[in-house]
Amino acid sequence: MSLPRLRRRVDVLTFASWRAGLPGLAVPAWIGPGPGLPAPAGAPRGVTVPPMAGAALAVVNDPRVSVLFAVRGGAPASTGCVALADEVAAALVRHEPVDEAAWVEIALIPVERAVDEVVRWLPPDPADGRLLVAHLARPGEPPGWSCRWTARGGSWHEGEPGDHPAGPADVVDRLRSALCAGVAGRPARPWAPVGEP
C-alpha cells in the first residue's frame, strides 16, 4: 500500500478540543483521559479537526485488533494505542517528556508498519527499572496477549530477574508474532494480566 505516513503532534488541550469536535469518537480508556489528557468539556466554537486526525480516531474506535502499550518508570513516559483496520493503522500516543508539557501524537500509517510504530517509542538504552507493557486487544474481548519487559543493564528483559536480555530485535519479534496471531484471530499465548500502565 502506498499510504504516506501522516502524523500530527499537538498539546493536550488542542487534542481535547478535537475530541470534543468528534463526539462519537472516544479515546481508549488505556490512554485517557488520565493525567495530562483531559476529557473534552464540550465542542468549542471555531475548532476545525484535521481530517487525518478524524480518520485516525475512527480507526482507533473500530479496529480489527489493537496493540496497547506503555513505557513507564521514569521520564520520558509514553502510553499509546496502535489500531489496525484493513490496510491502515492508526496510532494515538500520549507522551510526557522530561522538561516540557505533555503532548499527544496521532498518526495514520501503513498497516505493515504497526509494530515499528510501537518500537519507535521505546528508549534505545533504557535505564534500569524502566517498564514496557504491551497488550493485544480485539473489540469486545479481553486482551488476548500481554507481555511485560523490565530494563536492566541497558536491555529489556522479559520475565524474572536473571532471564536473558531481549534486544530491540527480540522485542520486535515478540510484538510482530503476537500481532500476526491477533489479526488472524488466534491466541499468541495465554493471557496473563499485567495491570494498567
Q: What is the pLDDT along the chain (197 residues), one digit of tens a residue?
A: 445 558 999 998 888 888 888 878 888 878 766 555 666 666 567 778 889 999 999 999 989 888 899 998 888 889 999 999 888 899 999 998 888 888 999 999 988 888 888 888 888 788 888 888 888 888 877 666 788 888 888 877 776 555 566 666 677 777 777 777 666 655 444 333 333 43
CA 179/CA 53 separation, integer angstroms: 24
pTM greater than 0.95 (yes/no): no
